[in-house]
């Protein structure tokens, strides 16, 4: 794969130097990290929670001269308010412009902190922490549609971090919430981004939903992230680009016993080029880490690469405009690795798949409901396969494999439907056809046995069904002429061997049983 240059960009060096210079007079006691490691359970020490660290730092008396200009923007059911904030100091705000609500007319109190960050494990990284904390003061706005965001500028870098509490059935604005955003520079690699959410609901988290969002702009580059939590529980998410072009590493840590559905969106803008990827995890395990690469293949096709050190019993959905027609990608029971490449055309179509798995289902679709294009492989074990086809008249379909045994394919492309269920001890299954009152079917397995094979291919006007046990064939050609009606004139050539074989064809609006003749 193409590799990015390891050269450190001048803008990143200047940014890091700016951080160090600006904060030369801002001292955080070294014992904060020690207190942090001894104040929480073993579980949280093993999985360090960024927002918990923010709480401890906020309790410290840290000198500040309000070095950064920061503004909080609030939208409460369409009422918009903006206020300047002082560093690490709560400011009470009237968000609905109603003096009769909240406490003395104030509905929320907001504070922010910004400080530099250096970490040595698991990798050395330097960066910044931007944190926003909000406490709801009254009951009147808890069922409103509320958005709160912090905007700060450091040098030439603009940062936004905030959350949105939607007005949905059963949802309410949290009693308190802390959201955190950390841009992290990994020397000789890249800039990664860590997000953290710590909500608090006195009424419990059931049916509570929050969207955490951030934005990072520098020069002609913009990166935006939004993560929806349903329900909203304490979670930490990291997005980190790798050295491989178009590949990102996703890391999730859930600090709650309550499972949650997570919808994460990543937007990357460089100049006038914009790319967006959505990843949905249902339900999020306590820890989940994987890398994901999405690239175009042809104008209609794409390439998908997923890798992880573990398997997860979850549903993972990916939505991307980088993968041609098949924008919706679904994995059920995520494997350790999936690499797929496809060109979902009726003519000269192709699909290759390599999986390290145990009972994974992998789906490619153009739309989530009633798709016109659907490439699905089910019950996947460790498998390497390649399928090519011409879904036409005449037409052909070839399935080859170099690893694995079971291949269950369900393909839909336009008005054509293809279903192949086979236990291929052979490395190849080839079918070709011309389906009419005078036509042919060709079968070839290179004289290697396919222990169980069921194939069905059909369009609105043509169709083929083949079922066989212990089938092997080489250059087998079955030809027929249906004349007069209901009488078959059959001939064949090549070699074929089977325990059981049934062939039916669909032509001119009717199914005809071709083999065996009664």
pTM score: 0.86
Beta strands at 438-444 and 510-515: parallel, antiparallel or unpaired: unpaired
pLDDT of 52 over the 80 cut: no
Q: What are phi and psi of 168, to 5 degrees?
A: -120, 160
Q: How far is CA 145 from CA 74, 84, 294, in A?
A: 10, 22, 34
Q: How much helix, strand and coil, in percent to the nearest 5, is found in the chain?
A: 10, 60, 35
pLDDT (mean) for 17-45: 36
Q: Pick the closest to residue 259 from 291, 275, 281, 290 (CA basis).
A: 281
As a whole number, mean pLDDT of residues 457-476 equals: 94
Q: pLDDT tens digit string along 179-204?
A: 999 999 998 778 999 999 999 999 99
State which H helix or E strand residue 222 sits in.
strand 221-230
Residue-level length of the chain? 518
Residue 50 pLDDT grade (very low, low, confident, very high; cuts 50, 70, 90): low
pLDDT at 7: 36
How confident is the model over 191-245, as pLDDT tens digits?
999 999 999 999 999 999 999 999 999 888 999 999 999 999 999 999 998 888 8
* Higher-pLDDT residue of 35, 506: 506
Confidence class of residue 486 from pLDDT cuts 50, 70 and 90?
A: low
265-291 confidence digits (pLDDT tens): 999 998 888 999 999 999 999 999 999
By the 8 A CB rule, do 327 and 354 touch? no
Q: Which of 23-27, 160-164, 235-239, 485-489 has the lowest mean pLDDT?
A: 23-27
The encoded tokens of residue 111 equal 């504070």
pLDDT of res. 43: 37
| Residue 264 confidence (pLDDT) above 80 | yes
Alpha helices in 251-339, H assignment, sequence order: none
Instruction: Give yes or no for residue 26 having a pLDDT over 80.
Output: no
Burial class (CB in 10 A: 0-12, 13-18, 19+), 18: middle
pLDDT tens-digit map of 296-326: 987 789 999 999 999 999 999 999 988 999 9
8 Å CB contact between 191 and 184: yes
Contact 455, 420 (CB under 8 A): yes
What CA–CA distance (Å, rounded) separates 472 from 453?
10
Residue 507 CB partners (closer than 8 Å, separation 6+): 435, 436, 437, 439, 461, 462, 463
* Locus of tokens 């199914």: 511
Residue with tokens 């909080």: 72
pLDDT of residue 55: 61
Q: What DSSP letter does each residue of 333-380 carry, written as one string? A: EE-SEEEEEEE--SSSEEEEEEEE-SSEEEEEESSSSS-SEEEEEEEE
Residue with more model confidence, 417 or 60: 417
Report the greatest alpha carbon distance in the chain.
98
- Give residue 41's pLDDT band: very low, low, confident or very high (50, 70, 90): very low
Lowest mean pLDDT among 16-25, 61-70, 141-150, 181-190: 16-25
pLDDT the model gives residue 202: 96
Average pLDDT score, the chain: 86
Residue 1 has pLDDT above 70, yes or no: no
* pLDDT category of residue 72 using cuts at 50, 70 and 90: very high
What does the pLDDT average to over 109-116? 94
Classify residue 6 by burial, with Cβ atoms within 10 Å: 0-12, 13-18, 19+.
Answer: exposed
Cα 70 from chain centre: 32
Q: What pLDDT is recorded for position 407?
A: 74
- One-character DSSP codes across 105-117: TB-EEEEEEEEEE
* 27 has pLDDT over 50: no
Task: Report, as an integer, the average pLDDT of 424-453.
Answer: 90
d(CA 137, CA 490): 85
Q: Do residues 322 and 276 touch, judged by C-beta distance below 8 A?
A: no
* H-run or E-run covering 180: strand 176-186
Q: Give the torsion through C-alpha atoms of 23, 19, 115, 48, to 10 deg.
A: -130
Contact 416, 346 (CB under 8 A): yes
Kindly give, in sequence order, each residue whose CB lies less than 8 Å from that of residue 97, ignoring residues fewer than 6 positions away.
79, 81
Angle between helix 31-39 and helix 50-59 axes, rounded to 10 deg: 120
| 379 pLDDT above the threshold of 90 | no
């Amino acid at each position: 794969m193409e590799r990015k240059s390891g050269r450190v960009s001048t803008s990143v060096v200047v940014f890091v130097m700016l951080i160090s210079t600006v904060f030369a007079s801002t001292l955080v006691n070294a014992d904060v990290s020690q207190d942090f490691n001894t104040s929480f359970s073993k579980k949280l020490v093993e999985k360090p929670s960024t927002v918990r660290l923010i709480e401890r730092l906020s309790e410290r008396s840290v000198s500040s001269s309000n070095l950064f200009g920061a503004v909080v923007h609030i939208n409460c059911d369409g009422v918009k308010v903006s206020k300047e904030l002082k560093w690490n100091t709560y400011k009470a705000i009237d968000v609905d412009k109603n003096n009769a609500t909240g406490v003395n007319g104030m509905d929320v109190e907001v504070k922010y902190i910004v400080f530099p960050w250096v970490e040595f494990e698991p990798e050395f990284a330097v960066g910044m922490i931007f944190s926003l904390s909000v406490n709801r003061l009254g009951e009147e706005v808890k069922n409103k549609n509320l958005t709160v965001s912090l905007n700060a500028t450091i040098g030439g870098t603009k940062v936004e971090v905030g959350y949105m509490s939607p007005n949905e059935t059963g949802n309410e604005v949290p009693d308190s919430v802390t959201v955190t955003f950390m841009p992290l520079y990994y020397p000789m690699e890249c800039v990664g981004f860590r997000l953290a959410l710590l909500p608090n609901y006195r009424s419990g988290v059931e049916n509570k939903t929050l969207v955490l969002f951030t934005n990072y702009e520098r020069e002609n580059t913009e990166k935006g992230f939004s993560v929806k939590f349903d329900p909203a529980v304490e979670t930490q998410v990291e997005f980190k680009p790798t050295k491989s072009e178009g590949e990102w590493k996703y890391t999730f840590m859930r600090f709650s016993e309550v499972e949650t559905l997570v919808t994460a969106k990543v937007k990357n803008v460089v100049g006038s080029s914009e790319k967006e990827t959505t990843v949905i995890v249902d339900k999020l395990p306590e820890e989940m880490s994987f890398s994901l690469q999405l690239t175009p293949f042809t104008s209609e096709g794409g390439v998908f690469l997923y890798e992880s050190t573990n398997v997860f019993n979850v549903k993972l959905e990916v939505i991307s405009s980088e993968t041609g027609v098949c924008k919706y990608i679904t994995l059920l029971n995520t494997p350790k690795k999936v690499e797929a490449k496809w060109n979902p055309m009726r003519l000269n179509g192709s699909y290759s798949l390599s999986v390290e798995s145990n009972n994974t289902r992998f789906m490619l679709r153009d739309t989530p409901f009633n798709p016109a294009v659907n490439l699905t492989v089910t019950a996947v074990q460790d498998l390497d396969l390649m399928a090519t086809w011409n879904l036409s008249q005449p037409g052909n379909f070839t399935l080859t494999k170099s690893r694995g045994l079971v291949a269950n394919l369900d393909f839909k492309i336009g008005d054509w439907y293809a279903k192949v269920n086979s236990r291929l001890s052979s490395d190849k299954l080839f079918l070709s056809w011309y389906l009419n009152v005078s036509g042919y079917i060709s079968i070839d397995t290179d004289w290697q046995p396919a222990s169980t094979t069921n194939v069905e291919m059909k369009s609105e006007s043509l169709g083929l069904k083949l079922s066989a046990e212990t089938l092997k064939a080489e250059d087998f050609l079955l030809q027929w002429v249906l004349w007069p009606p209901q009488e078959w004139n059959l001939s064949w050539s090549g070699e074929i061997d089977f325990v059981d074989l049934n062939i039916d064809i669909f032509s001119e609006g009717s199914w005809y049983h071709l083999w065996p003749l009664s």
